[in-house]
Amino acid sequence: MSWSIDYYEDARGRKPVCIFIDGLLPKHAKKAVDQIRLLCDYADLGQSHPDASEEGDGIWKLRVRFGKSQYRFFYFSATGQKFILVHAYLKSSPKTPPQEFAQAKKNRDEWLARKKP
């Protein structure tokens, strides 16, 4: 079974990561989507994406660079070989701002709570 990508959806049916990508310049959006798809390709080979690192608490961060713009996408792995993208932001400081990681955790926890049988 191959890995796949899914996006966190809030209670109002919005997908924040998709909205974030849609707001990027077209070339930036294409690169972001290509890098996100590569998560699955690397996972299918049993490897991690070279621009991904564990941020903590089971949440990973994918780094996407386009010129001087740097984007961060938070995700986690779910049952069934699926990556769930939960939050994204434009990097503007050397370290991950605590509120960005907190939002990723909140979205992840909400997704997990809704998926429980």
Give the gyration radius of the chain's Cα atoms.
14
Domains and CATH numbers, the chain: 4-115 (3.30.2310)
Cα 1 to chain center, whole Å? 21
C-alpha distances out from residue 57 to 27, 71, 98, Å: 32, 20, 13
pTM: 0.94
Q: What is the pLDDT of residue 117?
A: 59
pLDDT by residue (tens digit) across 70-111?
999 999 999 889 999 999 999 998 899 999 999 999 999 999
Residue 88: strand pairing partners: 73
**C-alpha–C-alpha distance, residues 36 and 5, integer Å:** 8
Report which of residues 1 and 11 the model is more confident about: 11
Count of residues making up the chain: 117
